[in-house]
Amino acid sequence: MNILDLLLSAENKPALDEVARNFGLNEQQTRNAVEGLIPALSRGMQNNTGNEQGMDDLLDALRSGKHAQYMEQPNTLSRPETTEDGNGILGHIFGNKQVSRDVAARVSEQSGISSTILKKMLPVVASLVMGAISKKVIGGGSASQVNRGTSGGLIGMLLDSDRDGSIWDDVLGMAAKGLLR
């Protein structure tokens, strides 16, 4: 299961329903937006976790953050703190705001959803991604037990759905899937 499948799974439907409500989108529009935004987020996360320091930073964020709350308590998605957290996540993933703007513009062209909405939605989706990863990696266990050896493999699996060691084909496949809907 990759991160997109995880986010779109039935167990996470309440979180996506909350996103739809918050941004005035219907279920299909929300799905299209998530399908369009996830490849860029996955690619950025893969780039950042491709070295020891990047993976350590992600695992530290999973240990110290309360990201699972976004999946477990969807009402938290409308809070300003969630957007603030998401913007911090985007800063780590993309490095600057222009990349976020470019991602929103590209997904807007593909989905027909306003780039203004997508720019506002992107930090919330980034928070959801961290929430989904946190829930999967930490689950019901202790965050202090998270380590690079076991969690790094799971994170890699989430970002590389066909387990071929590269997410590029996965990213392109997810993007194509989103365009064909």
> Which tens digits make up the pLDDT trace of 85-99?
999 999 989 988 999
Question: How far is it, in rounded angstroms, from Cα 134 to Cα 70?
Answer: 10
Residue numbers of the domain that contains 101: 3-180
pTM: 0.79
Q: Is the pLDDT of residue 35 over 90?
A: yes
Contacts of 52 (CB under 8 A, 6+ apart): 148
Write down the pLDDT at residue 63.
81
Averaged pLDDT, 24-45: 93
The number of domains in the chain is 1
